[in-house]
Structure 1
Amino acid sequence: MSCEGKVHPVSSNGDMTKEKPLKIFVGYDPREDLAYEVCRHSILKRSSIPVEIIPIKQSELRKNGLYWRERGQFESTEFSFTRFLTPHLANYEGWAMFVDCDFLYLADIKELRDLIDDKYAIMCVQHDYTPKETTKMDGAVQTVYPRKNWSSMVLYNSGHPKNKVLTPEVVNKETGAFLHRFQWLEDDEIGSIPFVWNFLEGHNKVVENDPQTFPKSIHYTRGGPWFEAWKHCEFADLWLKEMENYQQEAKKKVEK
């Protein structure tokens, strides 16, 4: 995979740790490079556990013979299907995470990792979501299907026997319904995560005086402030602040 995976090997008390990093695979699309960088930055900045962040780049997967399917008319991003290679890219070992690049993390990823339960094959936020818009991002068609957005952030128990079904051959030939609805699994093999870890901008709501409803990660699923049409979406200010912070730190590294 990409050599861009970055390990952040610092524990909560600042000491180096031998803890194995949590592999986080982020969906990458060249049109949303800035979104990827800001998502990555937001995870690393707040993480008290070691993480390795790896962009899933379709061009690299094609070059390495792992992805060859033609792009369908309803694929709004380059990672619509490549995301399901996560267990394979993790060598079918341990827990690994996939997340779309249009997320902003506001909490320590350790809190999410601590929700892991080995009895499940995957864990995700189980949204009941029907979008109102017909388009999203930069004019892509907004599709409606059962379990929509469940696959946008998933903790994969990569070594679970059921996930060994997700070979490159299967990911390249199976339907969107089979993959996005997790049809290789039984319902009781899918664990549930609180919605605040995949808080859908424009759909989920913060309830006043209820901290349980405040997002731990915001998903700009309709389109984020990196697109001109979505510059004024809800929580745009938080994303723009994170972008500025990322750009300042990147500039400091260049100047060193």
Structure 2
Amino acid sequence: MTVSDVGNALPLKIFVGYDTREDIAYEVCRHSILKLSSISVEIIPIKQSDVRKSGLYWRERGQLESTEFSFTRFLTPYLANFEGWAVFVDCDFLYLADIKQLRDLVDDKYAIMCVQHDYTPNETTKMDGAVQTVYPRKNWSSMVLYNCGHPKNRALTPQLVNSQTGAFLHRFQWLDDHEIGSIPFVWNFLEGHSQVDENDPTTFPKAIHYTRGGPWFEAWKNCQFAHLWMKERDEYLNEANKGN
């Protein structure tokens, strides 16, 4: 039995980057995953305040960190006890397909799997005015399938995550290139960059990433696919209100 076979019998752990400015984005992302999932999942927000309190995170915030989870994301294998497969995803995602389809892509020969974007943003700012940075492998780390039990991922201790550079972490430099698997771009479909071919269903997004800024920010309320996010938000709010 492989690591992925064992993992399939357990809830899939999905760690979502959480930012206090984007609580509604987290809730809508979570709602979209749960609504469509045909498998058992456990959704866990990575809140910087929590990992600081627990002694797992102590580095000072740098000027180029546009979110509270810029570096905490790399604690995913540690938080999963270095067991099975787990997903990390930024909170500014909207899922349009069953997360089981993503889990079914896992291949135990890889330490991680992600969409290997060739992406250079045109904007100089994003979200609510944060600086838009350009670097190799940009957005690769925004949605990652981690083979948490892979020996190489044991390098991702709190000590390393708190001390290494952004370049080392976001470019996955604790791994060799052949240990990084590729998944279709539709699982990290970059709003404003990725393209749909109406004649090719394989290009239709399965998870939209509002990487420039989503409609929960005033400046981005009319971005591409804003209507889909707002529809999901309204569904979430209606259900939340019924529960009160």
Shared fold by TM > 0.5? yes
Query: Deviation at 1:252?
Result: 1.2
Q: Secondary structure at the match of 2:173?
A: coil
Map 1:84-233 onto structure 2 (within 5 A): 84-233=74-223
User: Can you give the 5+ residue segments of structure 2 that lack an aligned partner in the other structure?
Assistant: 1-7
Residue deviations 1:172-200 (CA, integer Å, cap 9, x gap): 00000000000000010000000000000
> With structure 1 as the length reference, what TM-score do the two structures score?
0.92
Count matched residues.
237
User: Where in structure 1 do 4 or more consecutive aligned residues deviate above 4 Å?
Assistant: none
2:233 equivalent to 1:243: yes
Report the AA paired with residue 154 of structure 1.
Answer: V
Deviates more, 1:18-27 or 1:173-182: 18-27
Aligned-residue sequence identity (percent) comes to 82
Report the AA paired with residue 13 of structure 2.
Answer: K
Alignment match, 2:4: none
Q: Secondary structure at the match of 2:106?
A: coil
User: 2:162 and 2:28 mapped to 1: Cα distance?
Assistant: 29
Q: Secondary structure at the match of 2:141?
A: helix
User: 2:55 and 2:202 mapped to 1: Cα distance?
Assistant: 44
Query: Deviation at 1:253?
Result: 1.2
Q: Secondary structure at the match of 2:169?
A: helix
2:34 equivalent to 1:44: yes
Query: Deviation at 1:19?
Result: 3.1
User: 1:113 and 1:19 mapped to 2: Cα distance?
Assistant: 12
Query: Deviation at 1:144?
Result: 0.2
Report the aligned-residue RMSD: 0.7
Q: Secondary structure at the match of 2:181?
A: strand
Residue deviations 1:190-236 (CA, integer Å, cap 9, x gap): 00000000000000011122111110000000000000000000000
Report the AA paired with residue 172 of structure 2.
Answer: F
Q: Secondary structure at the match of 2:13?
A: strand
Select 1:60's aligned residue among 25, 32, 50.
50
User: Can you give the 5+ residue segments of structure 1 that lack an aligned partner in the other structure?
Assistant: 1-17
Alpha carbons 1:23, 1:96 under 8 Å: kept: yes
Q: Which has the higher contact order (CA 8 A, sep 6+)?
A: 2
